[in-house]
Structure 1
């Protein structure tokens, strides 16, 4: 956001930006505290806040929950965030499970009942936008196994809790997630027995990535159960199931069982039907299949064998250097999401749909401001139309053979679809450990095979990109910067973000790259 990293005042903003309309990086150094704002608005991200400010003008006072440098997939709200939300007349979120579940739980717990809670992207088509399915194909050579919950759960902010209740096997099982800064969060650890702490919650229809680590080869059986939880403290159990894992090449699966050993799958709990199963995405057809818990085997082959990292945060996995069989989480950081790609703003035409939705909701909540909102929205839509054409012209200069986009995060599907690019993949290493020499070589092979002159790093993921930088240097390709979910100290607003992305892509992938 412009000015203060968490808060701006639209009254000051409108005047300042009128004087600096030609500045490429937006306005900065502005102070909070609009005295004539008709609406106090909380937005979950700085990008959403920026769009609301541009439409709201001097009638809105906007606060962003996730700060400028923050990651909406992993940000944990503070008491100060809760206090700001408690003042809000309206709350805008992106929706489509972009935001970390704790953010939305905080919103539903603290926002006034009278405050509408608007997930802008979830009705995007009604305002001229387009929503795409989230494509996640990282080409792992072992099973990519996540957790998922399915089915509707009544009540705002409701969650589904998954609890591991029993584990049998020759060693220990740990299920954990590594965040953006490389810190592990343990969900299940059988070493000290299983109890209430071996559990976690997800919002309805959500999916998350995790690591599955086994200490010895052999057959493991893990029993999990589901429970719905509402904000008023009500909890209701709805189903359980036992899943079989075969660890190591010498471990034979039971006869007649369906074996999954590659591709993308989830241990899934359905709150509506009470069933617990594995859902798998078929690699060739793309169709999703379901396998009852007792009829499927999840294979962890010897090619998944690693060593316990020496870093202290991973001491819970065992002695440093000890053998470990790992199904990796594959995508860096907390990354809870649904089936639809939430990063719709990376297509400027969708940002225009966001603006139309914001305009309609502000008018609904402040009818007296209709003229202001309509005037501001019309001007901003015109500006967005111009930046859309500018982005298209810039990216059209990239030679066809260079239109491969390799990034640190799966946030650019809309940009690729809208402007004739191709998402070639993500090159962040598995974040629970340093990659092996073979994986570093494979990463180099991928960059070499795609024959791209550059790969792209998001500023908020820079702390975990050392390997990417090293391999890119070895391959003689450049590491460039692209913005996905957040701003930083250099880029403060949406238009500047999209202009930067277009310029950087054209420079780093262009004919002279």
Structure 2
């Protein structure tokens, strides 16, 4: 019987009720076990594999329950399990932390099937959707990107691409960094301490996997024209000598007229939308890839850094907040020019939303791919795998109908999902839920009054009776929960990437989410604000 969400209807549910239990120890793989040894990256995939494999498989997940696959660092025990695996299933599409993928690919026997489910499931009719990002910012949103596969160099998904700052000039300091989930800055380029070629510029380097991009903040301490030189290189394996790519200089007009930069009169000015400093590891070129309306925009275009100016306008001035974590920008209360990161936390990803399983039909495609992979590894178990998969697919078809019917019972005007994590695009598309927002304050400052007002206005204007919080992301949700408390709306649980002691299977998770949405959003919205 599915677990229910009894008691979630009350407004202002205490966040403490979402407290996490300790991570359960994952199963151990062993060469002495006669069963097929299966390693997966996440607990959701492990649950699917157990349903297909039944008694013929022993399944372990690299990422334990309650942990976040986007940031989990594998342990020595995880590495040991990989070594004994007969088959491996990852989601990929850059869902998992790159260290998880590296641990899998580097320690798996080359003869063992290593299946990227999100990509492989497309052949089984899985539907994929672009990862559409919010570019409704007052300034340009500038990140870093790797394009291409690097296959001619022998690169694969576990390879590393380095973008290194080697020289900067300007009237002040330039710092490119990201704000991690708990507010700690991680520096990519920092001109305050110079650039040291003796260590390969490692102190001023962004590391990305192939075909990925990352968000970041760009801070400038004084107005004027800045020029930053970046070089790119590709490390095919951890032990290989990096292959040198290109070098380019990028120009920023900070608080000054971008059309009057000396030597660049008539240059194109980038002032809004989404752009990435991009290295193509197939050609070695560094460019500015610009997509004014988001990564899925059909009008993506390359711009030559030599004839392009990136504008950092005066409206990009921000006060440095109090707290030791931001002293690298200057004293509290001083102003710096800043292009914001836009999405809180480390956020390296590709062009496709990787959370396919939030549409049950896609999970069925995963099951079919797992079935055929296990049959290839263990032909003697073919009948068992087909029968198990058939029964489980029937169960998932019932789950899909239950989720659809349960969500359909919510008045259409109240089917608005506001949460902390952009993981529910497939849920929204498959079951007619409007993804109305996730918390994306400027991560380089404490959430401002304007940030809080914007979130509050969204909740008020749409008459939203509840916001939703993934239990494993409680520590990242202070703005969401405080605003919800101020407005007297419920904070209800929803599961995205992982299980806990309350929800322990994929079928339970999808039913739970549907019930939580219905219970919390079907309440009358005309409550006292």
Global fold match (TM > 0.5): yes
Partner of 1:266: 276
One of 10, 18, 24 as aligned partner of 2:3: 24
SS in 2 for 1:126: helix
CA 1:443 to 1:202, structure 2 compared with 1: closer, same or farther past 3 Å? same
State the 1:425 CA deviation.
Answer: 2.3
Does 2:248 align with 1:241? Answer: yes
Alignment of 1:120-159 (within 5 A): 120-153=117-150, 154-156=154-156, 157-159=158-160
CA 1:302 to 1:471, structure 2 compared with 1: closer, same or farther past 3 Å? farther
State the 1:87 CA deviation.
Answer: 1.8
CA distance in 1, matches of 2:34, 2:445: 49
Does 2:459 align with 1:447? Answer: yes
Moved more, 391-400 or 108-117: 108-117
Moved more, 46-55 or 303-312: 303-312
State the 1:103 CA deviation.
Answer: 1.5
- Contact 2:143 / 2:275 at 8 angstroms: preserved in 1? yes
State the 1:236 CA deviation.
Answer: 0.8
Partner of 2:68: 71
CA distance in 2, matches of 1:460, 1:208: 22
Alignment of 1:70-469 (within 5 A): 70-153=67-150, 154-156=154-156, 157-195=158-196, 196=201, 197-231=203-237, 232-248=239-255, 253-254=260-261, 255-283=265-293, 287-469=299-481
4+ residue stretches of structure 1 with deviation over 4 A?
A: 28-37, 249-253
- Contact 1:228 / 1:235 at 8 angstroms: preserved in 2? yes
- Contact 1:45 / 1:93 at 8 angstroms: preserved in 2? yes
State the 1:143 CA deviation.
Answer: 1.6
SS in 2 for 1:48: helix
CA 1:182 to 1:234, structure 2 compared with 1: closer, same or farther past 3 Å? same
CA distance in 2, matches of 1:31, 1:129: 28
State the 1:253 CA deviation.
Answer: 4.7
CA distance in 2, matches of 1:95, 1:31: 20
CA distance in 1, matches of 2:210, 2:487: 43
1:321-348: CA deviations, max 9, x gaps? 3322222221122221111111110000
CA 1:471 to 1:252, structure 2 compared with 1: closer, same or farther past 3 Å? farther
CA distance in 2, matches of 1:494, 1:431: 32
Moved more, 224-233 or 428-437: 428-437
SS in 1 for 2:349: coil
CA 1:470 to 1:138, structure 2 compared with 1: closer, same or farther past 3 Å? farther
CA 1:449 to 1:278, structure 2 compared with 1: closer, same or farther past 3 Å? farther
State the 1:243 CA deviation.
Answer: 0.9
Does 2:506 align with 1:506? Answer: no
SS in 1 for 2:321: coil
CA 1:300 to 1:476, structure 2 compared with 1: closer, same or farther past 3 Å? farther
SS in 2 for 1:391: helix
SS in 1 for 2:350: coil
State the 1:227 CA deviation.
Answer: 0.6
Gaps of 5+ in 1: 1-21
1:447-468: CA deviations, max 9, x gaps? 2233322222222221121111
One of 44, 47, 50 as aligned partner of 2:47: 50
State the 1:23 CA deviation.
Answer: 5.3
- Contact 1:137 / 1:425 at 8 angstroms: preserved in 2? no
Gaps of 5+ in 2: 5-22
State the 1:30 CA deviation.
Answer: 9.5
- Contact 1:347 / 1:414 at 8 angstroms: preserved in 2? yes
State the 1:416 CA deviation.
Answer: 0.7
CA 1:138 to 1:486, structure 2 compared with 1: closer, same or farther past 3 Å? farther
State the 1:126 CA deviation.
Answer: 1.1
- Contact 2:2 / 2:511 at 8 angstroms: preserved in 1? no
CA 1:315 to 1:88, structure 2 compared with 1: closer, same or farther past 3 Å? farther
CA distance in 1, matches of 2:428, 2:195: 45
CA distance in 2, matches of 1:488, 1:250: 53
CA distance in 2, matches of 1:31, 1:105: 19
1:92-143: CA deviations, max 9, x gaps? 1001111121211222222222222110110222112111111112522222
CA distance in 2, matches of 1:121, 1:257: 41
Alignment of 1:32-43 (within 5 A): 32=27, 36-43=33-40
- Contact 2:2 / 2:512 at 8 angstroms: preserved in 1? no
Q: Which has the higher contact order (CA 8 A, sep 6+)?
A: 2
CA distance in 2, matches of 1:292, 1:31: 50
- Contact 2:411 / 2:522 at 8 angstroms: preserved in 1? yes
TM-score, reference length from structure 1: 0.90
State the 1:31 CA deviation.
Answer: 8.6
State the 1:295 CA deviation.
Answer: 1.8
- Contact 2:224 / 2:256 at 8 angstroms: preserved in 1? no
- Contact 1:308 / 1:323 at 8 angstroms: preserved in 2? yes
CA distance in 2, matches of 1:455, 1:30: 31
- Contact 1:174 / 1:188 at 8 angstroms: preserved in 2? yes
State the 1:403 CA deviation.
Answer: 2.1
- Contact 2:420 / 2:476 at 8 angstroms: preserved in 1? no
Does 2:490 align with 1:482? Answer: no
